[in-house]
């Protein structure tokens, strides 16, 4: 935690920045980089949005990254007019300017390390103290897939994970496509969300394997849409070798908040996410995260 924290303290914890001194760094300040994955529909965006809110309410500077092509983090964070946000992958001029090649075309030469450090300030939106960036679609095809838009998005994610002095929460799809070997190490925790269904646990095992392949070792699960004790038992026994950070109950209020666009007010869900937040902070302190 030491050096990095001292340098980044005033940015990372905005409520305390004025009094902060580089020499007096509270031991419990952890600027976590959290990635969230899992099968479509399990509740990744719900968890991402509630973790953003919990960190922001605790005084942290938070940047939320919607890296799921099926993007809905802006809506869940109740941003006004989420439909008006242009994902970065759709900003053709920007991609061309930074990489030297037009997206969508089969370019032979383009910059693999484009300048990205100014993008979070220029292309993020802020609402309720949370900054959001929407990535858009990334082209698939593993490490062999080089194209200008992927180069820009991956450079940006790498920058956000490795060089930003703030909490970063990455809402991903059912994989780890946005992370490479270099950036995987910067992820303090990959959370795989599971619901009590066989397909969701199978997807979790697949994501776990992909994550291990790129050297991402800090993996934990969160059970969501839990209706009963048997639901909990099903998940624990289907995935016995994993740490569970918590079990979020199924609550009709989540569905209603989604339908009305209102901020979620379900106490059982919010309380469990606070417990998950505490478990994340404790594990980061044990492992010495920034």
Ligand X SMILES: Nc1ncnc2c1ncn2[C@@H]1O[C@H](COP(=O)(O)OP(=O)(O)O)[C@@H](O)[C@H]1O
CA distance to 7, 124, 135, 183, 187, per residue, from 163 (Å): 11, 17, 18, 11, 12
Q: Which does 41 bind (CB under 5 to 8 A by kind): Mg ion, ligand X, none?
A: ligand X
Residue 118 CB, nearest approach to Mg ion (Å): 27
Q: Which does 134 bind (CB under 5 to 8 A by kind): ligand X, Mg ion, none?
A: none
Q: Residue 32: which H helix or E strand, with range?
A: none
Which of the ranges 41-49, 102-110, 131-139, 203-211 carries the binding residues for ligand X, by CB under 6 A? 41-49
248 binds ligand X per the rule CB under 6 A: yes
Residues 169-228 that bind ligand X (CB under 6 A): 224-225
Length of the chain: 290
51 binds ligand X per the rule CB under 6 A: no
203 binds Mg ion per the rule CB under 5 A: no
Closest CB to ligand X among 37 and 61?
Answer: 37
Give start and end residues of each alpha helix (H) in 43-124: 44-57, 73-76, 92-99, 119-122
* Closest among 230, 164, 217, 199 to 11, alpha carbons compared: 164
The residues, ordered by sequence, that sit 6+ positions from 206 with a Cβ below 8 Å of its Cβ are: 174
Number of H helices, E strands in the chain: 11, 8
- How many residues of this chain bind ligand X (CB under 6 A)? 18
CA distance 161 to 184: 9
Q: Which does 250 bind (CB under 5 to 8 A by kind): ligand X, Mg ion, none?
A: ligand X
Q: Is the dihedral of CA 137, 159, 280, 11 positive or negative?
A: negative
The residues, ordered by sequence, that sit 6+ positions from 237 with a Cβ below 8 Å of its Cβ are: none
Residue 193 CB, nearest approach to ligand X (Å): 6
45 binds Mg ion per the rule CB under 5 A: yes
76 binds Mg ion per the rule CB under 5 A: no
The residues, ordered by sequence, that sit 6+ positions from 288 with a Cβ below 8 Å of its Cβ are: 1
What's the distance, CA 149 to chain centroid? 20
Residue 227 CB, nearest approach to ligand X (Å): 9
Q: Which does 150 bind (CB under 5 to 8 A by kind): Mg ion, ligand X, none?
A: none
The answer to whether the beta carbons of residues 137 and 69 sit under 8 Å apart is yes
Sole binder of ligand X in the list 190, 218, 251, 277 (CB under 6 A)? 251
Residue 225 CB, nearest approach to ligand X (Å): 5
Residue 48 CB, nearest approach to ligand X (Å): 7
The residue of the chain with the least Cβ separation from Mg ion equals 45
Sole binder of ligand X in the list 1, 10, 11, 41 (CB under 6 A)? 41
Residue 240 CB, nearest approach to ligand X (Å): 23
CA distance 201 to 222: 11
Q: Which does 177 bind (CB under 5 to 8 A by kind): ligand X, Mg ion, none?
A: none
Which residues of this chain interact with ligand X, rule CB under 6 A? 38, 40-46, 72, 224-225, 248, 250-251, 254-255, 258, 269
């Amino acid at each position: 935690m030491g050096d990095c924290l001292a340098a980044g303290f005033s940015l990372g914890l905005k409520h305390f920045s004025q009094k902060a001194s580089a020499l007096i760094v509270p031991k419990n300040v952890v600027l976590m980089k959290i990635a969230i994955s899992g099968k479509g529909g399990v509740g990744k965006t719900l968890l991402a949005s509630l973790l953003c809110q919990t960190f922001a309410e605790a005084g942290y500077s938070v940047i939320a990254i919607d890296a799921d092509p099926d993007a809905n983090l802006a809506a869940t964070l109740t941003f006004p007019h989420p439909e008006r946000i242009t994902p970065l992958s759709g900003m053709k001029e920007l991609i061309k300017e930074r990489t030297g090649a037009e997206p969508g075309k089969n370019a032979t030469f383009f910059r693999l390390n484009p300048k990205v450090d100014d993008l979070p300030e220029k292309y993020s939106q802020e609402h309720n103290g949370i900054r959001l960036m929407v990535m858009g679609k990334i082209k698939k095809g593993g490490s062999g897939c080089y194209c200008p838009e992927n180069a820009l998005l991956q450079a940006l994610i790498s920058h956000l994970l490795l060089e930003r002095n703030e909490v970063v929460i990455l809402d991903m799809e059912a994989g780890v496509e946005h992370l490479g070997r270099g950036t995987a190490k910067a992820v303090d925790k990959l959370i795989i969300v599971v619901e009590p269904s066989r397909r969701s646990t199978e997807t979790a095992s697949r994501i776990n394997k992909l994550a291990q392949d790129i050297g991402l070792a800090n993996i934990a699960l969160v059970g969501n849409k839990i209706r009963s004790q048997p639901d909990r038992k099903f998940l624990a026994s289907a995935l016995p070798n994993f740490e569970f950070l918590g079990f979020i109950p199924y609550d009709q209020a989540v569905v209603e908040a989604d339908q009305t666009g209102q901020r979620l007010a379900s106490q059982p869900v919010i309380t469990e996410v606070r417990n998950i937040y505490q478990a994340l902070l404790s594990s980061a302190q044990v492992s010495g995260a920034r």
